[in-house]
Chains A and B, each alone.
Chain A
């Protein structure tokens, strides 16, 4: 039935539809400048049964492929940057490795010590040379100690960060559950859920920074989340993510695994280990990279202790004892040389024997003569039995041992047979390479994340130009509809004037 009343109703429905579109355009424009995740919204308008315009729904631009690639890039980027920042911290404490004056790496300290020994060997009677050789030895020992402290403190920080990350994940999952329920209800009710979808996607983005995830969408926009290794994080309800932090680390401490839904997802024993996200990076740093570097330091310390150990010179069958370099548990040790598999934590315990250290009241020339391990009144370990000031045999053999090939444990993951100085250099090279690799990977992943972000933004974001042109169209349509209403009004006026009303 076509009549003035229905024409008026249709014009009115057009105005309502335009109002709905205008409100969405203004949301899009506000969203374009927002820093939160925002996808472009559009209004679906259909012709209603009576011929008017009817707002059916509001939908947002979605691109699952781009969104998933963003999530993957974000996870990978977070993992590499977590790993990279930990390695950088370790490397920084070793000083500037390119400068000789400010180099505190074990490799440089070892080479300083080796030079001091040679100087002393050239003038064995010189007590100043003896003192400076012992000082260099002390610097080396404390260098290894502080390197150990740094490595363990990096592991402690990684552990604490993992605890924070797990707390963040649990908070995000709780938010996700609430949003997911609202979205399911809203979808069934036919209400506008686009802002909720954006919020949920934003939670996913934050989650992907912490842990690598994959998502599955079911009926009514219901979404499930699993880790990148397939362990369920969310399905109907959020699963428990738990982690027992360890506050103090030593070289022999193994950190606890992060548990997701009853499955350990980090650590050596994990059946389904996660491979990306900050959590994966922190776990790799804590459980693998830092541990390997600590093993290398321990091998260097163990090698030093073995090389400078003193053997029985009297033939009475006394066991070999630590010499210049000893460690806090030396009194209980029964086996010099220490086996390579038994060196855990030595870098943190190594120290210069008090009996040879002038700063502790010791005699530096014992380095030349031997007998550092002598008990009071005994001379079992004295090499220079004559007490000659020109005795160099012991010093020569010590210098040789530093440059002689020896066996190192495979836990250091570098050389297994090399001289101590070569091993120390290789360790430094390994750390540099690790840092370089992760920093390159971090830079690469960051670039990838940048392009994924751009692609996502181009695919689903709003463009001000498009919105402005839409707004002009809407303005014109609104004018036309309003004009229609004016015309209908004029027609009524004409009718009433005929009636003289």
Chain B
């Protein structure tokens, strides 16, 4: 029955072209959908009964292909949580019921509770970094939690390390014979230079350290020495209008002595710092442990109302003693006052960091990328997400910008891979294909009708 088979074949051809047209229709519809990967239809022939002397049309079989691996053009976007992946990888997202999917659609916005969700309502998943500010996530899907940008809305960090770099003027007159060095905390104490440094306790209270530097080089000595004394500015005495001395002894809630550090800095003949030596037992008295002995950094007891154990390690290695003005070139500590989140940033490695109003940042989440062995085999689902199946392989999770994974670009979106011109061209082909199939059908029909007529 090759005549009828040709008609059935033509019908399968028309059906295949309809499928193709449907795919083209979907592609054109999603020409502006972020993260959309175009679908294509592949045809393969069906042979039923082909012999040497007869041909019976089997028609055509349609299979739909998704070119998931194809990179879409990255377009600029305004929000820092608009993310696009350049090269391999997918964002790991969860739906409302907790199922994990892969997607390239990265137009995430924070919803009412601060979690990042994309246009299709999927929640972005990541690893929390707030515990220790580490940047390496544990691999695997089970450790993922929803990325929440308001997780650390108010954050204070205690100062634990700091740097003080300054030039002490070698021309300053020596106060070696003075009986009122700052370490005596005597009224009207004399000093050569003073600077101050803001640190933060564990509640984020600012603690300003008054740092006195006094030239105590002994007369005729070839080894210049400077005494360094640190007080809490909040303890400054009020009895004199021209001096902060004496600092109050009925100090704060932690019962520490007002003198937080006292020691000697030694310099060599070229003005470089050779070492520090803590004098007295201030630190030991206040904290119960002895001053760590390092050549060029000192430990300072930071008055802290909550648990009196805060130590600031102050790096002095850049201190010099040269014939120039007193000039502080660096004074920083790592602490910060409580401050609200003003925004988030995402770097190319997928670290989502909160930026605080005072300009500091804190890493909150690692946004990982997932992939599968065969990305083009993934099953697409509504909302530009893909789920795994037996052909695609299971989800592997990795870090962006490492081991073959692509980079995460903030303020960019991956546009649809659909090219209108290609789709329109394919549409013409489908249209002509459909027409041709209908002609075959019509011809088969005509032939059958001719046969029927001959029987009259």
Contact residues of A with B, CB < 8 Å?
1, 3-6, 9-10, 13, 16, 48-50, 52, 54-55, 180-181, 183-185, 187-190, 214, 216, 218-220, 222, 224, 226, 229-232, 235-237, 239, 244, 256-257, 259, 261-264, 267, 269, 271-272, 491-492, 495-496, 498-499
Contacts and interface: CB of A to CB of B under 8 A. Distances in A.
A335 B198 CA distance: 57
Contact of A271 (B80, B190, B206, B356): B190
Nearest to A188: B355
B396 interface: no
B286 interface: no
A5 B356 contact: no
A214 B206 CA distance: 24
Contact of B193 (A220, A272, A491, A492): A272
B227 to A, nearest CB: 14
A218 B330 CA distance: 7
Nearest to B175: A271
A403 B338 CA distance: 75
B303 to A, nearest CB: 17
B13 to A, nearest CB: 21
B325 A181 contact: no
Contacts of B194: 231, 261-263, 271-272
Interface in B390-426: 409, 412, 415, 417-422, 424-425
Nearest to B359: A184
Given A5-B421, A263-B194, A269-B242, A216 B356 contact: no
Nearest to A218: B332
Given A3-B421, A185-B343, 19 more contacts: A5-B415, A13-B75, A48-B74, A50-B74, A185-B342, A188-B359, A188-B361, A189-B345, A216-B329, A219-B332, A232-B196, A239-B208, A244-B241, A261-B233, A262-B233, A271-B193, A492-B420, A499-B424, A499-B427
A262 B421 contact: no
Nearest to A236: B198
Given A222-B359, A272-B326, A54 B76 contact: yes
Task: Indicate the size class of the contact surface on chain B.
Answer: 35 or more
A13 B73 CA distance: 11
Interface in B347-373: 353, 355-361
A262 B236 contact: yes
A259 B242 CA distance: 7
A257 B242 contact: yes
B86 interface: yes
**Majority-rule SS of A interface residues:** mixed
B76 A16 contact: yes
A181 B421 contact: no
B353 to A, nearest CB: 8
A42 B361 CA distance: 27
A501 to B, nearest CB: 9
B328 interface: yes
A226 B355 CA distance: 27
B359 A187 contact: yes
Nearest to A264: B242
From B31, B208, B427, residue with most partner A Cβ within 10 Å: B208
B422 A3 contact: yes
A272 B422 CA distance: 77
Given A224-B331, A230-B193, A9 B415 contact: yes
A64 B194 CA distance: 25
A75 B181 CA distance: 33
A272 B342 CA distance: 40
Contact of B328 (A1, A187, A216, A236): A216
B244 interface: yes
Contacts of A9: 73, 75, 415
A262 B73 contact: no
B313 interface: no
B244 A181 contact: no
17 contacts: A6-B73, A9-B75, A49-B86, A189-B80, A189-B345, A189-B355, A230-B193, A237-B206, A239-B196, A239-B208, A259-B242, A262-B194, A262-B210, A271-B190, A495-B425, A496-B424, A499-B427
